[in-house]
Structure 1
Amino acid sequence: MLKILMVLLLSSLALFASGGGATSGEVAPDLTMTWVGFACLFIFVVGYYFVAAEEKYEIDKAKPALFIGTFMFILVAIYYALNHLDMGLVHTQAQHLILEIAEIFFFLFVAMTYIESLIHMSVFDKLKYDLVSKGYTYRKLFWVTGFLAFFISPIADNLTTALILSTVLITIEKTRKDFLVPGAINIVVAANAGGAWSPFGDITTLMAWTSGKGAFSDFLFLFPASILGYIVTAFLLSKVVPNEAPSFDASKEVAPKMAEGAKVVMGLGVFTIFCAVMSHQVLHLPAMWGMMFGLSLLKVYAYGLKRKHGKEHFNIFHSMAKIENNTLMFFFGILAAVGALYFIGWLALASIVYDPTVLGPTIANIAVGFLSAIVDNVPVMSAVLKANPTMEHSQWMLVTLTAGVGGSLISFGSAAGVGVMGKLHGIYTFGSHMKYAWMVLVGYILSCVIWYIQFQMFGFGA
Structure 2
Amino acid sequence: MLTPSPTHRLRHSARRPKFVVAATFSILLVLFSPLAYASTGPLNLTTSISGFIAVGLFILAYGLVMAEEQLHMRKSKPVLVAAGIIWAVIGWVYVRAGLPDAAESAFRETLLEYCELLLFLLVAMTYINAMEERRVFDKLRSWMVQKGFSYRTLFWITGILAFWISTVANNLTTAMLMCAVVSKVAEGDKKFISLCCINIVVASNAGGAFSPFGDITTLMVWQAGLVPFEGFFTLLGPSLVNYLVPAIIMSLFINNRTPSPLDESVWMKRGARRIVLLFLLTVVIAVLCHTVLHLPPALGMMTGLGFLQFFGYYLRRSLPRSIERKRTRYSQRGDWRKLESLGSVVPFDVFSRIARSEWDTLLFFYGVVMCVGGLGFMGYLSLLSETLYAGWNPTWANIVLGLISAVVDNIPVMFAVISMSPDMSVGNWLLITLTAGVGGSLLSVGSAAGVALMGQARGIYTFAGHLRWTPVIALGYIASVLTHLWLNAASFSN
Number of the residue aligned with 1:293:
303
Q: What per-residue deviation string (whole Å, max 9, x for no partner) do you get for residues 367-426 of structure 1?
A: 232345536342244256x2315x7x765654453344335556787xxx44x4797694
| Residues 1:319 and 2:341 are matched in the alignment | no
| Residues 1:59 and 2:94 are matched in the alignment | no
> Alignment identity in percent?
36
| Residues 1:305 and 2:315 are matched in the alignment | yes
Q: Which range is displaced more, 359-368 or 68-77?
A: 359-368
> What value does the CA root-mean-square deviation take over the aligned residues?
4.0
Residue identity in the other structure for 1:118:
M
Q: Which range is displaced more, 64-73 or 31-40?
A: 64-73
Number of the residue aligned with 2:243:
230
CA separation in 1, counterparts of 2:354 and 2:363? 15
Q: What per-residue deviation string (whole Å, max 9, x for no partner) do you get for residues 102-155 of structure 1?
A: 22222222122112222222222211110111123676445334323433555x
Aligned pair in 2 of structure 1 residues 394, 75: CA closer, same or farther (>3 Å)? closer
Q: What per-residue deviation string (whole Å, max 9, x for no partner) do you get for residues 327-352 of structure 1?
A: 11211111121112211111211112
Question: SS state of the match for residue 129, structure 1?
Answer: helix
Question: SS state of the match for residue 28, structure 1?
Answer: coil
Aligned pair in 2 of structure 1 residues 43, 440: CA closer, same or farther (>3 Å)? farther
CA separation in 2, counterparts of 1:194 and 1:204? 13
Contact between 1:162 and 1:187, CA under 8 Å: does it hold in 2?
no
CA separation in 2, counterparts of 1:169 and 1:291? 27
What's the offset of the Cα at 1:320? 2.3
Q: Which range is displaced more, 330-339 or 184-193?
A: 184-193
Q: Which range is displaced more, 206-215 or 266-275?
A: 206-215
Residue identity in the other structure for 1:169:
M
Show the 5 A alignment for 1:34-433.
Answer: 34-81=48-95, 83-136=96-149, 140-152=153-165, 156=168, 160-166=169-175, 168-169=177-178, 171-172=180-181, 173=183, 186-187=199-200, 189-197=202-210, 220-235=233-248, 249-250=262-263, 253=264, 255-310=265-320, 312-355=346-389, 358-373=391-406, 374=408, 376=410, 377-382=413-418, 386-388=421-423, 398-409=431-442, 417-418=447-448, 420=449, 426-427=455-456
Task: State the TM-score, normalizing by the size of structure 1.
Answer: 0.76
Contact between 1:398 and 1:451, CA under 8 Å: does it hold in 2?
yes
CA separation in 1, counterparts of 2:240 and 2:50? 44
Residue identity in the other structure for 2:392:
L
Aligned pair in 2 of structure 1 residues 424, 402: CA closer, same or farther (>3 Å)? closer
Task: State the TM-score, normalizing by the size of structure 2.
Answer: 0.72
What's the offset of the Cα at 1:225? 2.7
What's the offset of the Cα at 1:55? 1.4
Number of the residue aligned with 1:436:
466
Who wins on radius of gyration, i.e. which is larger?
2
Residue identity in the other structure for 1:257:
W
What's the offset of the Cα at 1:62? 2.1
Q: What per-residue deviation string (whole Å, max 9, x for no partner) do you get for residues 73-123 of structure 1?
A: 222223333x33411122112212222222222222212211222222222
Contact between 1:153 and 1:194, CA under 8 Å: does it hold in 2?
yes
Contact between 2:148 and 2:260, CA under 8 Å: does it hold in 1?
no
Residue identity in the other structure for 1:382:
I
Aligned pair in 2 of structure 1 residues 306, 365: CA closer, same or farther (>3 Å)? closer
Question: SS state of the match for residue 96, structure 1?
Answer: helix
Contact between 1:353 and 1:364, CA under 8 Å: does it hold in 2?
no
CA separation in 1, counterparts of 2:179 and 2:137? 10
Aligned pair in 2 of structure 1 residues 228, 56: CA closer, same or farther (>3 Å)? same
CA separation in 2, counterparts of 1:170 and 1:151? 15
CA separation in 2, counterparts of 1:424 and 1:184? 7
Q: Which range is displaced more, 165-174 or 207-216?
A: 207-216
Q: What per-residue deviation string (whole Å, max 9, x for no partner) do you get for residues 157-209 of structure 1?
A: xxx34254235236535999978877666555434433444567667667777
Aligned pair in 2 of structure 1 residues 288, 246: CA closer, same or farther (>3 Å)? farther
Aligned pair in 2 of structure 1 residues 395, 84: CA closer, same or farther (>3 Å)? closer
Contact between 1:197 and 1:219, CA under 8 Å: does it hold in 2?
yes
CA separation in 2, counterparts of 1:450 and 1:126? 36
Aligned pair in 2 of structure 1 residues 207, 56: CA closer, same or farther (>3 Å)? closer
Residue identity in the other structure for 2:242:
G
Q: For CA contacts below 8 A with separation 6 or more, give which structure has more relative contact order.
A: 2
Where structure 2 has 5 or more consecutive residues not aligned to the other structure, the ranges are 9-37, 321-344
Contact between 2:129 and 2:353, CA under 8 Å: does it hold in 1?
yes
